Amino acid sequence: MTSNEALNTESQPSSPSDPTDANTSPEAPTDTEGLIFKAVGIVRGEVNFSDDSHASVTINQKQYPLFYSRSRPALTGLRQEIEKTGISTYRLIVYPKVTHFPNRNQSHQLSFQLVAFDVGRDSTGVFNELEDNQFKLSGLWQFIPVCRPPCISIFRNFTPKLLKYVHKMDTPAKKVRTLKASHLPVFWKDAPVKPFRFNPKGDKDQGLPPFVQIKAVFIPERDAFEFLELLASPQEESPKFLKARKEDKAQVLKSARKKAPKKSKSKIKSRKSKKSKVGPNPQKKS
């Protein structure tokens, strides 16, 4: 599968930002036409397949999950290529995926969605535009509560087809999963615009995050990205996008809490029993 074919089938990550409102963003003015949310890049690494068909890619001695969404033929073709040639190191076109956790002290986890791979014959499209570990990122420049460095948030681009597809889903969990975004930590010194930081105690009208388009390099040592080049001037307005409704997200979280195993009371009982053994037991009078 060539880079151009792969990018025509899916122009953005399949699960791009914080799921919280299955509505579109504010109406975008005409000067945002043609802009899209996007996170795509090149990594070079050693690909490994486990017995259960799970794949990973090792970059600078760090291993990351490698998965497919709509591009299963690419992953299947890559496995066949490795089995045929015995060569396991390739240049890959990937979408980055980041999982953040409620505890800010718990480090985020990074994985990559495979789009296409290069066997040395493809010098067109993204393979030609980017060097190893370089990415094009287009999204909202902002802080999120669960990440210390600011992020570029990649949401699902609005299309009537996607909106109709989401409305047909029968559970909030499916909607939240489909409309989930990727918040990519980016170190960007002397950025021309400040990352937006929402103040929960501030006024309702605090403005909106700027939409930025940059080239960045992936830093495995930090599981984050670092600014390289500005691809276009920052925009005050963003392209239209979709995100999950707050009500759907709340329902998913509520269901997850119900399914979580309850804490055992055995330790509490053991402490009580130890306490009762302190000192002689009173004897009943006959």
Q: What pLDDT, in 10s, does the model give residues 156-198?
A: 999 999 999 999 998 999 999 899 999 999 999 999 999 999 9
Q: Is 271 helix (H, G, I), strand (E, B) or coil?
A: helix
For residues 183 and 154, what is the distance between their CA atoms, to the nearest angstrom? 6
Distances (CA, A) of 78 to 47, 88, 90, 137, 178: 9, 9, 9, 25, 26
CA–CA–CA angle 190, 156, 246 (5° rounding):
95
182 domain-assigned = yes
pLDDT tens over the chain, length 286 residues: 433 333 332 333 333 333 334 443 333 444 566 899 999 999 999 999 987 678 999 999 999 999 887 657 888 899 999 999 999 999 999 999 999 988 878 889 999 999 999 887 566 678 889 999 999 999 999 999 999 999 999 999 999 999 999 999 989 999 998 999 999 999 999 999 999 999 888 888 889 999 999 999 999 999 999 999 999 999 999 999 999 888 988 888 888 887 766 655 444 444 343 443 444 444 444 4
Q: CA nearest 256: which of 180, 183, 172?
A: 172
Please state whether the predicted TM-score (pTM) of the whole model is above 0.85.
no
Q: What pLDDT score does 143 carry?
A: 96
pLDDT tens figures, 73-94: 888 899 999 999 999 999 999 9
How far apart (Å, rounded) are the C-alpha atoms in residues 100 and 106? 8
Q: Which range marks the domain in which residue 123 is found?
A: 3-258
Tokens of 17: 């930002």
The gap from C-alpha 252 to its chain's centroid, in whole angstroms, comes to 18
Contact in structure between 157 and 148 (CB atoms under 8 Å): no
Whether 172 maps to a domain, the answer reads: yes
Which of these, 134, 108, 139, 105, lies nearest to 212 by C-alpha position? 139
**Contact between residue 134 and residue 29 where contact means Cβ atoms under 8 Å apart:** no
Residue found by looking up tokens 């290069």 in the block: 118
| Angle at 43 (CA atoms; ends 39, 44), nearest 5 degrees | 170
Give the model's pLDDT for residue 162.
94
Q: Is residue 24 part of a domain?
A: yes
Residue 24 is given by DSSP the state: B
- Strands 55-59 and 38-49 turn out to be antiparallel
C-beta neighbour count of 166 within 10 angstroms:
18
Q: What's the pLDDT at 88?
A: 95
- Evaluate whether residue 190 is within a structural domain: yes
Residue 130 within any structural domain of the chain: yes
| 133-to-116, 118, 265 alpha-carbon distances in Å | 15, 14, 49
71 forms bridges with which residues in the sheet? none
Number of structural domains (the chain) is: 1
For residue range 21-40, what is the model confidence (pLDDT) as tens digits?
A: 444 333 344 456 689 999 99
Residue 157, classified by CB atoms within 10 Å of its CB into exposed (0-12), middle (13-18) or buried (19+), is: middle
